[in-house]
Amino acid sequence: MNVSDALINRKSVRAFLDKPVSQDDIHKILQFARQSPSGTNTQPWKVAVVTGNTKQKLDNAMIEAFRSGTEKVLDYNYYPSSLPTEMKRRRLACGLQMYQTLGITRQEPEKRIEQWVQNYSAFGAPIVLYFFTNRMLEKGSYLDCGMFIQSVALMAEELGLSSCIQAALAEYPQLVREHLNYTDDNLLLCGMAIGYENKDAVINSYRTVREDVEQFTRFFD
């Protein structure tokens, strides 16, 4: 698979097969992803590969936190308090497309909640990667980590695996740190579900729309 194919084929998968992923495959993904660029080669990323009983316990803890109304406090602000109009439009369209695909209406808030809860089990994926960086670092290192995370997703695609990069898995960072024995100086960026796509699941049948190049690009000569 070449890079252009991986970019086109990659999508956020929200239903996975009950099929294990080998540790060798995860190691291979990270072996290549570590070639991602970073400012002055700082390589500011850390990765926790979580599966089996550890994953189940952490999944359950986050689901319980959500159901009990525990406040979500990410280690950083993923979104601003108010999005620019065109971004808000795309965000609303994204959510609407998912719920329409599932046949869930605005008048069915319980079903929407239950769909959201699936975030905390990484949609049933057998493996979750949690991405950390040092809390003292600044925005440049967030860019570096973002490039690394994208590289992980593209390498997974090359190996026939699917993924979903999830900010939701960073909503209870203290829980994650406690379960995985990470110290407070490790800032949790996000999680990533990795596994084999369940192609029969309706939720995996839609694709979000991307803007034309002309909409976000200006050429100068």
Which domains does the chain possess?
A: 3-78+121-205 (3.40.109.10)
- Rounded to 5 degrees, φ, ψ at 207 are -130, 135
Q: What confidence score (pLDDT) does residue 53 get?
A: 98
Q: What confidence score (pLDDT) does residue 105 get?
A: 92
Strands 162-166 and 46-50 come out as unpaired
Scanning the chain, the segments in alpha helix (DSSP H) are: 3-9, 23-33, 52-67, 85-102, 109-117, 139-158, 173-180, 213-216
Rounded CA separation 195/16 (Å): 6
Q: Which two tokens stand for residue 96?
A: 């609407």
Whether 48 has a pLDDT exceeding 90, the answer reads yes
Whether 150 has a pLDDT exceeding 90, the answer reads yes
pTM of the model: 0.96
Q: What is the mean pLDDT of residues 84-108?
A: 94
Whether 218 has a pLDDT exceeding 90, the answer reads yes
CB 134 within 8 A of CB 185: yes
Rounded CA separation 127/21 (Å): 7
Whole-number average pLDDT of the chain: 96
Scanning 36-82, the segments in alpha helix (DSSP H) are: 52-67
Q: What confidence score (pLDDT) does residue 1 get?
A: 85
Whether 75 has a pLDDT exceeding 90, the answer reads yes
CB 170 within 8 A of CB 74: yes
Confidence bin at 92 (pLDDT 50/70/90): very high
Q: What confidence score (pLDDT) does residue 36 get?
A: 98
Q: What is the mean pLDDT of residues 151-170?
A: 98
Percent of the chain with pLDDT over 70: 100
Q: What is the mean pLDDT of residues 33-48?
A: 98
Q: What is the mean pLDDT of residues 102-109?
A: 92
Residue 83: count of CB within 10 angstroms of its CB: 13
